[in-house]
Structure 1
Amino acid sequence: MIFQRKQPEARYFIPDTPHGAKPVQELLMAKELAQAINLRKKDDDTLIALCIGTDKITGDCLGPLVGTKLRERGYTHPVCGTLQHPVHAVNLSATLASIRRHYSRPFLLVIDAAVGPADKIGCISFSYSPIYPGQGIRRPLPPVGNLSLTGIIGEASEHCAADLPYTRLFVVNTLAEFICGAVMSCEKLMIH
């Protein structure tokens, strides 16, 4: 869980759009993600989806839910972080060490939940920068990732950590479906 700050290079996508615009938004996000990966990832880098969060708290299960959906849909790149084997604050450092042992040049697409401004709840932020996990619950961890997708699940406030268990699963699942669809579509658009 991170605290979503406005970043100059962040781009927001809105999954819950009226009049059937969701597929258009999903494709736009897939194209932008593919373009970023094609520009930044070197040929010998291994693209890895690092899905951060825990299934113990509804508001923080976005990452593992996306990781599970990617695996179920046959995503061909490595995925770290699922509902069965979540990556969270306690095991993040060990997971990163394991990734570095197994892959000489990992390129991390990090997916996590975030709290942010009220007008961005339900949006997905795509950024060309790492995330700082744990900030949303005042448990800051080192920055992680090359690119990041964050689903904004609630409003940033003094008590946002206490509100996380009461986040609607519908909101989290809507974001997870959108992110998974965009990442799967992105895979088809990437230069291999």
Structure 2
Amino acid sequence: MEFSQPVVVVCFGSPSIAGDSLGPEVGTLLRKDPSFPAFVYGTLDRPVTGRNMEEWITFVKEAHKGAVFLAVDACLGDARSLGKISVRGDGVCPAAACGKRKRFGDVGVIGVVGDKSGDPLEELMGADLTLVSALARTITSLIRSALSPAPYAGQE
């Protein structure tokens, strides 16, 4: 995938809630890669959470005018969707489990970490950390592949 504008990745979530730690885990994995070709916000050390996301969103939009914003977040879904990853063309709705409905991003990557039929906070708190970590590694790999220049045929 090639973009004519710079790409900024914003990973939403709280590392203190198992299911909600998906975004910060992705952000941390991306930041560990010195060759990753994009700015990354939202890590385990400096998360972008429901409490501080308005300030972060304002900062990111101001600091990176004209950029393509790729947003990463955890979500709840049908029980049969657990562990699935979706890419959306309209960003994500961070803190939706808390009733917030403001969208962010040009592209959204969401990972289903719990069942939406239960209590949202309980589902996020009780999410399987092994599943969350596996989703984080997969999403990180997908984002790296999408944003890294593809090698020419015959080059490895």
1:127/1:189 Cα in 2 relative to 1: closer, same or farther (>3 Å)?
Answer: farther
**Where in structure 2 are the equivalents of 1:12-27 lying within 5 Å?**
none
Q: Which residue in the other structure is 1:117 paired with? A: 78
Tell me if 1:53 matches 2:16: no
SS at match of 2:75: strand
**Where in structure 2 are the equivalents of 1:56-71 lying within 5 Å?**
56-71=16-31
Larger helix fraction of residues: 1
Q: String of CA shifts for 1:54-102, please: whole Å, max 9, x gaps.
A: 1010110000000000011222210010000000111111111111221
Equivalent pair of 1:54/1:61 in contact (CA under 8 Å): yes
The Cα RMSD (Å) is 1.4
Q: Which residue in the other structure is 1:159 paired with? A: 119
Read off the aligned partner of 2:31 and give its amino acid letter.
Answer: R
Question: 94-103 or 78-87: which moved more?
Answer: 94-103
1:158 Cα deviation from its structure 2 partner = 4.2
Q: Which residue in the other structure is 1:4 paired with? A: none
Equivalent pair of 2:115/2:123 in contact (CA under 8 Å): no
Tell me if 1:132 matches 2:107: no
Q: Matched residues, percent identical?
A: 27
Q: Which runs of 5+ in 2 are unaligned?
A: 151-156
Q: TM-score, normalised by structure 2?
A: 0.89
Q: Give distance in 2, aligned partners of 1:60 and 1:160.
A: 11
Q: Give distance in 1, aligned partners of 2:60 and 2:94.
A: 17
Q: TM-score, normalised by structure 1?
A: 0.73
SS at match of 1:174: helix
Which protein has greater RCO, CA pairs closer than 8 Å, 6+ apart?
1
Question: Which of residues 121, 125, 128 is equivalent to 1:168?
Answer: 128
Q: String of CA shifts for 1:143-178, please: whole Å, max 9, x gaps.
A: 100001000001102413123222111000000000
Question: Which of residues 79, 85, 107 is equivalent to 1:147?
Answer: 107
Count of aligned pairs: 149
Runs of 4+ in 1 over 3 A off after TM superposition: none
